[in-house]
Amino acid sequence: MIHRAALGMGIRRPLARLMSAAAEAQPLGFIGLGNMGGPMAKNLLKAGHEVVGFDVSRANLDSFQAAGGSAVESPLAVARRAKTVVTMLPAGSHVLQVYSGVDGLLAQGGADAGSLLIDCSTCEPAIGQEVARLASLQGATTVDAPVSGGTPAAEQATLTFMVGGPEVAVRQAEMILRHMGKKVIHCGDAGMGQAAKLCNNLVLGITMAGVCEGHALADRFGLDQKKLAEILNISSGRCWSSEVYNPCPGVMEGVPAARGYTGGFACDLMLKDLNLAANAAVVSKPKLGLPMGGLALQMYSQMSARGDGMKDFSGLYPHIAGEKKS
Amino acid sequence: MIHRAALGMGIRRPLARLMSAAAEAQPLGFIGLGNMGGPMAKNLLKAGHEVVGFDVSRANLDSFQAAGGSAVESPLAVARRAKTVVTMLPAGSHVLQVYSGVDGLLAQGGADAGSLLIDCSTCEPAIGQEVARLASLQGATTVDAPVSGGTPAAEQATLTFMVGGPEVAVRQAEMILRHMGKKVIHCGDAGMGQAAKLCNNLVLGITMAGVCEGHALADRFGLDQKKLAEILNISSGRCWSSEVYNPCPGVMEGVPAARGYTGGFACDLMLKDLNLAANAAVVSKPKLGLPMGGLALQMYSQMSARGDGMKDFSGLYPHIAGEKKS
C-alpha cells in the first residue's frame, strides 16, 4: 500500500485523479500486460488510477512498473489488492487459468461480493459464460469486454469494447473502460460481448476477402482500381473493407495496403477469430455450417503459411491477385 | 413515320417533349422490351421521345405499342429508323445476335457513322469490346451500360448505369440514360461498364453471404439480431448488405427479409453475375482464382436448386441458418 499512500500525499497528483472518487478509494487490477494490455494499463495509470498488475513475463512487468504500476506475484495477489480487475490474455485457456487456477482471481481470499472482473481477452462466448458462473459462486461479478482496434488504438485509448454482462456491472465497467477506449457497446448478457466480436470479425474476414477478389478481377479486366473502389463505395458492394481499409495498393493513402501491409490487424489474429467462430459453429445446437467463414479461414491460413501471418489481413490481396514481379 | 407526324401536331404533346430538342429531331430505338427493357422504354416514351422497338415476344411488343411505342420487325428495322438504339437483353449470346445477326443492328443499311448503340444488358466485358469493334467497322459507336437496380428501379427510373466507352459517346448516351435512371457512372473504355458491374456484384454476392453467416452464428450464440446489426453497422463488419438490405428477418423493415424474400434481386440473377465473373476469371491472362466468389456461386446455386431461385438473393439466410419450423 506504500505506492497508494505516496500518491495520497498529493505530490504530482494528476487532475484526472482529483476528479475521480473511485480512483481515491480503490486501486485497479490488471492482468496480462503485453502488446495490448501494457498500453491499456498505462492509460489507466495516466488517468490517475493506482494499478496493481501481474504478467507471466518479467519484461512486461518491468515496463508496467516503470510507468508507475505496482507489480505483484499472481492473479490472486491482484484480486486481494483490487476490487476491479481487468484481464487481457491471449486465449480462453489463459482466461480460465487466471480466473480459476490455484492462485487465480477466484481462489480463496481473492475476488468476492465486492469484485468486478472485466475480461478484455477475445475467446469463445462459452468461456465468458463459464467465468461468470464461477465468479457468481463467490458473489463476484464479471463482464466480457473484448476489443476492436489493434495496438495503436490501445496506445491512443481509442479501442471499442463490446461488452456482455448485467446492465449495472456494464455501467460500472464503462467508467473504467472509457479511460482505454472511445466506444463501449452493451451487447447483452454474459458472453454476448465475445459473441458480437466473433460475428463482426467473421463478417469482416469474409468481406475483406471478397473485396480482394473484386479488385483482383478488376486487375484482369483492366478496370482502373481507383475507379472500382469509387463505384463499390456508391453501390451495393460498399463495405468497410472497400471504403475505409481498401486492400488494393494505389487506391487509398494511410492504410496497410499503402505501406506493404505493415501495421494494422495481423492475419494471424484474424485467423484466430475465424477459428473461434468456426469452432463455435461446430459445437452449436443445432450445428451450423459456415462455408464462407471456413473458406476465409483457409485463405488466411495459406497467407500465414506463406510467411505473411504478421502482415495486416488486407495483405490477402496479393495472395489472390498474384504478386507483381518488380 | 405516321406516329411521329401525329405527335408533331402538338396534340397531347407532353411538356418534357417540348423541352427536348433531341426528341424533336430523332426517334430512339429500343430492343428487348421484357421485365427490364419494357419499363425502361416506357420511361423514354414518358419523356416525350418517339421510340421504335423490337422484341421476339409479341406480348412485349403489344404492351410497348399500348404505351405509345412503334413496333418494327427486326433489329435492322430499328437501326434504319433510329440513330440512337438501346438494347436490354438476357445474355451475351443475344447481344451478339442482335448486333451482328443477318437482320441485326449492324447488317447492311443498319447502323452507320451517325449511330450510337447503347447496350444495357449484363454480359462479359469481352462482348462489349467485341460489339464495339464490329460497330467501329461501320463507323458506329457503342457504349456498354449495364444497370444496377431491379424491376422497381426500371419502373421508377432510378437505375444506376455503369458505362464503358469513349468519353464523348458516354456523354451523349447519358442524356438518354438520365430518362431511365438516376446515376450514370463512366467506368472507362469499352467493356469497363460490364467489368465494373461484375466486380461490384462479385463483392456483393460474397458480402451478402458473409452477413448471412454472421447473423446465423449470432442466432446460435443467442445474440440479439438487431443488436448485431447495430454493432456491425458501427464496426468493421459494416456493409451495404448489413446496413441497407439486412438478410435476417426482424432486423429491418422494407427489405425482402421482411416479406419472405419476395421482390428485390433474384437469386438466379446473382447466380448469373457470379457465373460471368467466375468464367471471366478462368479465361483471364494470367488466370485468376476466385475461391470466395466460386463458393458463393455454389451456395446461390444450391439455394436455386432448392426452389428459391426467384426469391431475393438475401434469402440465402434461412438456407444457412436453417429454416425456423413454425
> How many percent of chain A have pLDDT more than 70?
91
CB of B86 closer than 8 Å to CB of B112? no
Place of cell 443499311: B109
B231, amino acid identity: I
CB of B320 closer than 8 Å to CB of B216? yes
What mean pLDDT value characterizes chain A?
92
Could you say which of A42, A83, A197, A311 is catalytic? A197
Q: Which residues of B are less than 8 Å from A128 in CB distance? A: none
SS3 A63: helix
For β-strands A141-144 and A147-148, DSSP reports them as unpaired
> Angle at Cα B234 formed by Cα B231 and Cα B235, nearest 5°?
80
For residues A190 and A202, what is the distance between their CA atoms, to the nearest angstrom? 20
> Given this model, what pLDDT does residue B15 score?
42
Q: For A139-148, what is the mean pLDDT?
A: 97
- Asked if omega into A256 is within 30° of 0 (cis), the reply is no
> Given this model, what pLDDT does residue A152 score?
87
CB of A268 closer than 8 Å to CB of A309? yes
* Partner-chain contact B288 A321, CB within 8 Å: yes
Q: Residue A326's CB: how many other CB atoms inside 10 A? A: 3
Of B30, B87, B96, residue with least CA distance to B63: B30
For residues A157 and A176, what is the distance between their CA atoms, to the nearest angstrom? 12
For β-strands B116-119 and B84-87, DSSP reports them as parallel
For residues B200 and B122, what is the distance between their CA atoms, to the nearest angstrom? 12
A18 min Cα distance to partner chain B (Å)? 33
* Partner-chain contact A202 B217, CB within 8 Å: yes
Q: How far is CA A94 from CA A55, A82, A134, A143, B69, in A?
A: 11, 20, 15, 16, 74
> Given this model, what pLDDT does residue A323 score?
72
Q: Which residues of B are less than 8 Å from A228 in CB distance? A: 196, 199-200
* Partner-chain contact B277 A200, CB within 8 Å: no
A13 min Cα distance to partner chain B (Å)? 36
For residues A125 and A119, what is the distance between their CA atoms, to the nearest angstrom? 11
Count of residues for chain B? 326
pLDDT tens digit sequence for A236-246: 999 999 999 99
CB of A28 closer than 8 Å to CB of A176? yes
Of A83, A71, A109, A67, residue with least CA distance to A22: A83
Query: Please, which residues bridge with residue B184 across strands?
Result: B161
SS3 A289: coil
Instruction: Tell me the angle at which helices B58-66 and B37-46 cross, rounded to the nearest 10 degrees.
Output: 20
* A-interface mutation test, from B221, B245, B298, B300, most A Cβ less than 10 A away: B221
> Given this model, what pLDDT does residue B263 score?
87
Of B45, B34, B37, B36, residue with least CA distance to B67: B45
pLDDT in tens, chain B (326 residues): 334 333 333 334 444 444 444 445 589 999 999 999 999 999 999 999 999 999 999 999 999 999 999 999 999 999 999 999 999 999 999 999 999 999 999 999 999 999 999 999 999 999 999 999 999 999 999 999 999 888 889 999 999 999 999 999 999 999 999 999 999 999 999 999 999 999 999 999 999 999 999 999 999 999 999 999 999 999 999 999 999 999 999 999 999 999 999 988 999 999 999 999 999 999 999 999 999 999 999 999 999 999 999 999 999 999 999 975 44
> Given this model, what pLDDT does residue A23 score?
43
For residues A310 and B66, what is the distance between their CA atoms, to the nearest angstrom? 65
For residues B6 and B66, what is the distance between their CA atoms, to the nearest angstrom? 16
* Partner-chain contact A199 B188, CB within 8 Å: no
Is A8 a residue whose pLDDT tops 50?
no
Count how many pairs of residues, chain A against chain B, have C-beta atoms within 8 Å: 258
* Partner-chain contact B204 A234, CB within 8 Å: no
> Given this model, what pLDDT does residue B70 score?
98
Q: Work out the burial of residue B77: count CB atoms within 10 Å of its CB; fewer than 13 is exposed, 13-18 middle, 19 or more buried.
A: middle
> Given this model, what pLDDT does residue A292 score?
98
- Which residues have C-beta within 8 Å of that of residue A318, sequence separation ≥ 6? A324
User: Torsion-angle region of residue B41: left (phi > 0), alpha (psi -120 to 50) or beta?
Assistant: alpha
Q: How far is CA A153 from CA A30, A148, A159, A161, A206, in A?
A: 18, 8, 5, 11, 23
Tell whether the torsion through CA atoms of A215, A217, A222 and A227 is positive or negative: negative
pLDDT category, A22, cuts 50, 70, 90?
Answer: very low
pLDDT tens digit sequence for A207-232: 999 999 999 999 999 999 999 999 99
CB of A229 closer than 8 Å to CB of A248? yes
Instruction: Report chain A's C-alpha Rg in angstroms.
Output: 21
B325 labelled catalytic: no
Query: pTM of this prediction?
Result: 0.90
Instruction: Tell me the angle at which helices A192-221 and B291-303 cross, rounded to the nearest 10 degrees.
Output: 110
Q: What is the DSSP letter of A239?
A: B
> Given this model, what pLDDT does residue B149 score?
83
Q: Which residues of B234-246 are buried (b: 16+ CB within 10 A; e: fewer)?
A: ebbbbbbbbbebb
Q: For A32-52, what is the mean pLDDT?
A: 97
Q: How far is CA B179 from CA B118, B154, B188, in A?
A: 14, 10, 22
> Given this model, what pLDDT does residue A59 score?
97
* B-interface mutation test, from A122, A198, A231, most B Cβ less than 10 A away: A231
Domains and CATH numbers, chain A: 2-189 (3.40.50.720), 195-321 (1.10.1040.10)
> Given this model, what pLDDT does residue B151 score?
85
For residues B186 and B171, what is the distance between their CA atoms, to the nearest angstrom? 9
Of B30, B49, B187, B183, residue with least CA distance to B121: B30
> Given this model, what pLDDT does residue A150 score?
82
Q: Which residues of A are less than 8 Å from B289 in CB distance? A: 320
Closest chain B residue to A323, measured at CA: B286
SS3 B147: strand
Q: How far is CA A15 from CA A10, A46, A52, A137, B164, in A?
A: 11, 10, 20, 38, 61
pLDDT category, A25, cuts 50, 70, 90?
Answer: low
For β-strands B159-164 and B147-148, DSSP reports them as antiparallel
* Partner-chain contact B221 A195, CB within 8 Å: yes
For residues B116 and B143, what is the distance between their CA atoms, to the nearest angstrom? 8
Instruction: Report chain B's C-alpha Rg in angstroms.
Output: 21
Of A29, A229, A188, A212, residue with least CA distance to A117: A29
Could you say which of B197, B285, B287, B311 is catalytic? B197
CB of B90 closer than 8 Å to CB of B116? no
- Which residues have C-beta within 8 Å of that of residue B194, sequence separation ≥ 6? B122, B123, B124, B125, B127, B128, B144, B146, B162, B164
Is A21 a residue whose pLDDT tops 50?
no
> Given this model, what pLDDT does residue B324 score?
59
Closest chain A residue to B209, measured at CA: A292
> Given this model, what pLDDT does residue B25 score?
59
Q: What is the DSSP letter of B313?
A: G
B137 min Cα distance to partner chain A (Å)? 23
> Given this model, what pLDDT does residue B200 score?
97
Closest chain A residue to B241, measured at CA: A236
Q: How far is CA A254 from CA A227, A241, A251, A259, B177, in A?
A: 18, 14, 10, 8, 37
* Partner-chain contact A223 B199, CB within 8 Å: yes
* Partner-chain contact A188 B160, CB within 8 Å: no
SS3 B162: strand
- Which residues have C-beta within 8 Å of that of residue A143, sequence separation ≥ 6? A116, A117, A118, A119, A163, A164, A165, A166, A169, A170, A173, A190, A193
> Given this model, what pLDDT does residue A149 score?
84
> Angle at Cα A34 formed by Cα A28 and Cα A35, nearest 5°?
115
